[in-house]
Amino acid sequence: MPDWPQPLVQPDQLVGQLGAPDLVVLDVRWSLEQGAEREAYLAGHIPGAEFLDLDLELAGPAGAGGRHPLPKVEDFAASMRRHGVSFSSQVVVYDEVTGAAARAWWMLRAAGHRRVAVLDGGLQAYLEAGGQLTRAKPSTRSGDFQAKGFERWVGADGLETCRDQGSVVVDARARARYLGQPNPLDPRPGHLPGAVSLPWTDLFDRGRLRPAAELRHLLGESGAGDRPVVVYCGSGVTSCAVLLALEVAGGGSGRLYPGSWSEWAADPSRPVQNPGGG
């Protein structure tokens, strides 16, 4: 089967390659409101797709490190092997454009697996391309995936050093949350001092990632066009969509702050910039 080194695969490409020996398809449907959407997977999924539970397999237990901290790398590797991922696998991850597939893409890349792509437009685009769904349980062989650690991330204590070294810190949450408007998700309103706002949803148009030229323009307007980038959001999920866009735009890979606002704002000793007051 063809190698898809680019971070996106188009729906018609996937439809034409379903059943290929080295292809592993992972259904990462998840939403902020409902969490991992296993029931939706059971009701119908891309043939051969395995369900990947973001809350249990792409994150460690929620706590002081945030709502979706990085899991232990050995747990992540074991999960990938259960889903049939091997060194030779071409992995395609999909969701309903909620940022979950981008999180899976980023984690595989951060763990050293290069052959992974996000399905552009998610499940809806696949259906529009003539793809069919099934309820059949996939037949999966164990993979040989191995990982020694995660790269391209920074912890809360490293953010100041990143800023001092010239990185721009990007807040990928909705602008209202960046501006400090109270909401039930954030421990405290506001944003990291000095962070710029670039809502991840601005990078998409009707569920599809915008063309590279448009992405470069949006990233440039935010100040992230020609500087090293560290991205955060509420809990390190949707910010991965910004990292995906950054790579599609040709701006490098950037770094993720996995704990994100759910970690930072939970510690009252950490400073918060809050334009909304309070």
Residue 148 lies in a domain: no
Mean pLDDT in the chain? 94
Residue 4's pLDDT band, with cuts at 50, 70 and 90, is low
pTM reported for the whole predicted model: 0.96
Chosen domain end from 110, 128, 146: 128
Chain-centroid distance of CA 103 in Å reads 2
pLDDT at 253: 75
Per-residue pLDDT tens digits for 250-272 = 977 799 999 999 999 999 999 99
Residue 227 lies in a domain: yes
Residue 5 predicted with pLDDT over 60 = no
- Tokens representing 129? 């391309």
**19 shares its domain with 114:** yes
**124 shares its domain with 163:** no
Tally Cβ neighbours within 10 Å of residue 105: 27
CATH for 100 = 3.40.250.10
Residue 57 predicted with pLDDT over 60 = yes
Catalytic residue list contains 162? no
pLDDT at 10: 95
Strands 204-205 and 208-209: what pairing? Answer: antiparallel
Contacts of 134 (CB under 8 A, 6+ apart): 44, 45, 46, 47
Instruction: Name the residue range of residue 191's domain.
Output: 156-264
Residue 134 lies in a domain: no
**104 shares its domain with 188:** no
Residue 164 lies in a domain: yes
Which of 25, 93, 116, 233 is catalytic? The answer is: 233
Q: Name the percent of the chain lying above pLDDT 90.
A: 87
- Domain count across the chain: 2
Element containing residue 204 per DSSP (H, E) = strand 204-205
Specify whether the CB–CB gap between 232 and 169 falls below 8 A: yes
Residue 1 predicted with pLDDT over 80 = no
Contacts of 136 (CB under 8 A, 6+ apart): 47
**67 shares its domain with 172:** no
